[in-house]
């Protein structure tokens, strides 16, 4: 190659390098300007959206509580929200008269606001002739703090007619103020960084510049991802007050949040007993776990029962996290998160602590709901709940290859017990038989006090033969049991009828009738027996 050619190649290479560098610089400048202009708008819009989503979640929770006639529990949600001033500046519900019903500031409850005089109301109601144009807007509250305010209207739906007149169109409003100081701090920080990087970009390698920008953008979106995860979790938890569903949702949320290889949920039972479950990835059924071989966990469970276990704890090797879900003196659940490969990072402590507060609210609501559907004397579910559950299980019938089996149980000679010893001893017999039933059935079986001295057990995905075996176990448990109250020892027996759908019936009423007929056949054939339909 001649010197002329070498010079030409060198010049071409130089021009290509200059062009590539200029192109990269131009792309970098465009990227910087785009981030500088669009990111603040996106963050503010995201903050408005999350404020709106939180308002909708609270509205959904209020509807659930109204359906279960537990409106009094709503204030506990606002009390929980008041603990996080960085996320919620203030939140309250007013009725259609302007009276504050629930608030993160309990001293405000009962106050009546005048929308054309109160400083907080004048932010939105600037004119008597014009209503507010937006549901979510950026304003300064009465304390001079810049917030994202969301106003959601509570319409007078059908479920509200139990407490509100049907003629009323609007029952009230939910107003939530979310502070923007954290978002503005992030925006200001990003702007300073971008300006600094813009001044230095001509003196540093373009790749290094990109890495710095990416690092801060990643941190910003990581923080917002964590916040979004919290509110997404709160929405999922608010959709159920059923303990069985709550167990599955809780395990899923914890596994997703802390990236645990195994999550175990421990639930309390009577007399310091407990049941532990886990869930296989991709499946909705829980699996029983035996923890007796793990002395460390058994020791923690004992502390949990005693009320001396701290709310959140990480093992010394950082491979286990323990979450105590409790309130006051009542324990709801213990969560054990395990990691087989690697360790949990110390940064997990903050987000796990925030999640646990939401779990407490969810489990407390489920506990209150469970009280409402539980018979006080026997500790079994009520007949009203039986109607709801059996209808739900019939909807799932196509999923069960073995169908649904119903067991009906009646205490033998119960009238004689009441006439001879009185109703106190009769109640003791009902409690004792209920205890025997609970001890003889499986975790997923549903026991009910059907009425008086009659009980029912619903067995999902269970054929007639397996149901018959469980019924025999119940009969045997009652037969060998001795019920005592300190002055009297009582033994009794039960008669049992068993029926299966679709083997014996194809409807809810048909299944109940078949099982009930089998029960009375057991009575007629001498009692203390199990009869299949």
Percent of the chain with pLDDT over 90: 23
Residue 239 has pLDDT above 60, yes or no: yes
CATH node for 383-532: 3.30.70.270
**What's the average model confidence in pLDDT over 221-233?**
59
Predicted pLDDT at 249: 82
- Residue 313 forms beta bridges with which residues? 322
Predicted pLDDT at 298: 85
**pTM for the structure as a whole:** 0.52
Enclosing H/E stretch for 75: helix 74-81
Spans of all domains in the chain: 46-183, 240-372, 383-532
More confident residue, 428 or 80: 428
Q: Characterize 184-211 residue by residue with b for buried, 16 or more Cβ atoms within 10 angstroms of its Cβ, and e for exposed.
A: eebbeebeebbeebeeebeeeebeebbe
Q: What is the pLDDT of residues 253-280, one digit of tens each?
A: 888 777 888 888 888 887 788 888 888 7
| Distances from the Cα of 398 to the Cα of 256, 402, 460, 502, 513, angstroms | 31, 10, 12, 10, 21
- Residue 318 forms beta bridges with which residues? none
Side-chain half-sphere of 209: how many Cα atoms within 13 Å? 20
Chain centroid to Cα 375, Å, comes to 24
More confident residue, 372 or 465: 465
More confident residue, 130 or 389: 389
DSSP assignment string, 314-333: E-TTSSEEEEEEEETTEEEE
Find tokens 């996320």 and name the residue: 87
| Most confident residue range from 59-68, 138-147, 289-298 | 289-298
Predicted pLDDT at 6: 41
Residue 385 has pLDDT above 60, yes or no: yes
The SS3 assignment for 293 reads coil
Q: Which two tokens stand for residue 332?
A: 């709801």
Q: Which two tokens stand for residue 148?
A: 């994202």
Predicted pLDDT at 205: 54
Predicted pLDDT at 522: 95
Per-residue pLDDT band for 1 (boundaries 50, 70, 90) equals: very low
Residue 5 has pLDDT above 50, yes or no: no
Residue 450 has pLDDT above 80, yes or no: yes
Residue 135 has pLDDT above 80, yes or no: no
Q: What is the pLDDT of residues 297-356, one digit of tens each?
A: 888 888 888 888 887 888 888 888 888 888 888 888 888 888 888 888 777 777 777 778
Superfamily (CATH H level) for 240-372: GAF domain (3.30.450.40)
Per-residue pLDDT band for 456 (boundaries 50, 70, 90) equals: very high
Predicted pLDDT at 257: 78
More confident residue, 143 or 436: 436
Q: Which two tokens stand for residue 246?
A: 């709550």
Predicted pLDDT at 180: 75
Per-residue pLDDT band for 231 (boundaries 50, 70, 90) equals: low
Question: Of 213-222, 229-238, 438-447, 480-489, which gets the smallest average pLDDT?
Answer: 213-222
Predicted pLDDT at 341: 85
Q: In terms of Cα–Cα distance, which of 386, 385, 379, 387 is closest to 430?
A: 379
| Most confident residue range from 184-198, 226-240, 323-337, 514-528 | 514-528
Predicted pLDDT at 136: 61
Predicted pLDDT at 510: 94
**What's the average model confidence in pLDDT over 124-153?**
66
Given a contact cutoff of 8 angstroms between Cβ atoms, the answer to whether 78 and 175 are in contact is no
CATH node for 46-183: 3.30.450.20
Predicted pLDDT at 164: 67
């Amino acid at each position: 190659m001649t010197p002329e050619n070498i010079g030409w190649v060198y010049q071409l290479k130089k021009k290509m390098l200059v062009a590539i560098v200029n192109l990269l610089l131009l792309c970098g400048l465009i990227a910087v300007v785009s981030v500088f202009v669009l990111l603040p708008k996106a963050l503010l819009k995201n903050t408005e959206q999350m404020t709106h989503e939180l308002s909708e979640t609270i509205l959904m929770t209020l509807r659930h509580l109204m359906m279960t006639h537990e409106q009094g529990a709503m204030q506990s949600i606002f009390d929980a929200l008041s603990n996080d001033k960085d996320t919620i500046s203030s939140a309250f519900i007013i009725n259609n008269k302007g009276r504050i019903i629930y608030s993160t500031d309990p001293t405000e409850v009962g106050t009546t606001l005048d929308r054309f005089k109160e400083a907080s109301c004048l932010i939105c109601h600037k004119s008597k002739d014009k209503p507010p144009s937006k549901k979510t807007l950026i304003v300064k509250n009465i304390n001079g703090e810049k917030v994202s305010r969301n106003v959601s209207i509570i319409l007078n739906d059908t479920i509200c007619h139990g407490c509100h007149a049907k003629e009323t169109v609007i029952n009230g409003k939910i107003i939530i103020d979310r502070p923007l100081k954290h978002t503005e701090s992030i925006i200001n920080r990003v702007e300073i960084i971008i300006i600094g990087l813009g001044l230095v970009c001509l003196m540093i390698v373009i790749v290094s510049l990109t890495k710095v920008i990416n690092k801060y953008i990643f941190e910003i979106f990581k923080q917002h991802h964590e916040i979004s995860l919290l509110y997404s979790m709160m929405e999922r938890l608010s959709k159920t007050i059923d303990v069985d569903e709550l167990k599955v949702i809780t395990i899923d949320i914890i596994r997703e949040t802390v990236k645990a290889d195994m999550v175990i949920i421990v639930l309390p039972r009577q007399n310091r007993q407990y049941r532990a479950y886990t869930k296989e990835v991709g499946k909705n059924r829980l699996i029983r776990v035996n923890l007796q071989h793990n002395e460390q966990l058994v020791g923690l469970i004992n502390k949990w029962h005693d009320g001396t276990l701290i709310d959140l704890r990480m093992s010394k090797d950082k491979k286990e996290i323990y979450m105590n879900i409790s309130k006051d003196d009542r324990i709801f659940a213990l969560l054990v998160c395990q990691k087989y490969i690697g360790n949990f990072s110390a940064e997990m402590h903050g987000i796990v602590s925030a999640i646990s507060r939401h779990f407490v609210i969810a489990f407390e609501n489920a506990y209150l709901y469970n009280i409402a559907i539980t018979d006080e004397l026997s500790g079994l579910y009520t007949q009203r709940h039986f109607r709801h559950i059996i209808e739900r299980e019939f909807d799932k019938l196509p999923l069960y290859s073995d169908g649904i089996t119903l067991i009906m149980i009646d205490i033998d000679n119960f009238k004689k017990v009441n006439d001879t010893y009185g109703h106190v001893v009769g109640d003791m017999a009902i409690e004792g038989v209920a205890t025997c039933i609970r001890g003889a059935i499986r975790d997923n079986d549903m026991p009910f006090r059907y009425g008086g001295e009659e009980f029912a057990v619903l067995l999902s995905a269970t054929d007639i033969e397996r149901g018959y075996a469980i019924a025999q176990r119940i009969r045997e448990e009652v037969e060998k049991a001795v019920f005592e109250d300190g002055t009297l020892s009582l033994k009794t027996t039960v008669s049992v009828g068993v029926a299966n759908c679709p083997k014996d019936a194809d409807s809810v009423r048909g299944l109940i009738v078949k099982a009930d007929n089998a029960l009375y056949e057991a009575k007629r054939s001498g009692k203390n027996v199990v009869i299949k339909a």
